[in-house]
Amino acid sequence: MKDNVIVLIHQKLNQIYTQAESTYHELKKEGYSISYGYYNQNYIKINGKQVLQKYPIPIITIEGIGDIGFNLDEVFFEFFIDRNEIKKIDLKALIEEYRLEIYGGKNCLIDFYTPPQTEHDVIKQVLSSSEETIGIAVYIQDLNIKSTYLHLCQLLKL
């Protein structure tokens, strides 16, 4: 591998890990019960396909709420809610404001949301499914992670 490629990979990984550590310390100061670790076996979308990450990425887990993951190309927030809670969240705002996925909690291959579906379509699909838990993943590329996280918690009524 050429030295310039190694330098680019090194710089990118340090940027990701520094951002994750900084976010962890910010949230810890706020009094959240959180943990921080490095986990592999996640997925990243490359050229339109989900590809397994054998390498670890930093993930912050906020107890009882969800995860914040730091991927090569973006930050993701992952929440799991009871299927009946889908009626209580501000799903319309989530769909309008963020790039997201809504999927089965047990069978993550069940996709409940594909743009341009409306919140009514999603609610109908979720409630007619046999999934007891629903996963919601939100993806961002901006660096204002803490305020985005707090906004998502508000929309999800967490």
Spatial contact of 59 and 68, defined as CB atoms under 8 Å apart: yes
SS3 70: strand
Q: Does pLDDT of 61 surpass 90? A: yes
- Of residues 128, 64, 74, the one with CA closest to residue 101: 74
Q: Which residue(s) pair with 35 in the sheet?
A: 61
For residues 52-62, average pLDDT: 96
Q: Does pLDDT of 1 surpass 70? A: no
What's the structural domain count of the chain?
A: 1
User: Which tokens sit at 4?
Assistant: 């310039």
* Single pTM value for the model: 0.88
Spatial contact of 34 and 62, defined as CB atoms under 8 Å apart: yes
Express each pLDDT in 127-149 by its tens digit.
Answer: 999 999 999 999 998 668 888 98
For residue 116, cis peptide bond before it (omega within 30 degrees of 0): yes
- Of residues 79, 85, 66, the one with CA closest to residue 126: 85
For residues 46-67, average pLDDT: 93
CATH number at residue 42: 3.30.930.10
Q: Does pLDDT of 152 surpass 70? A: yes
What is the average pLDDT value for the chain, to the nearest integer? 92
Query: Residue 141 sits in which domain range?
Result: 3-155
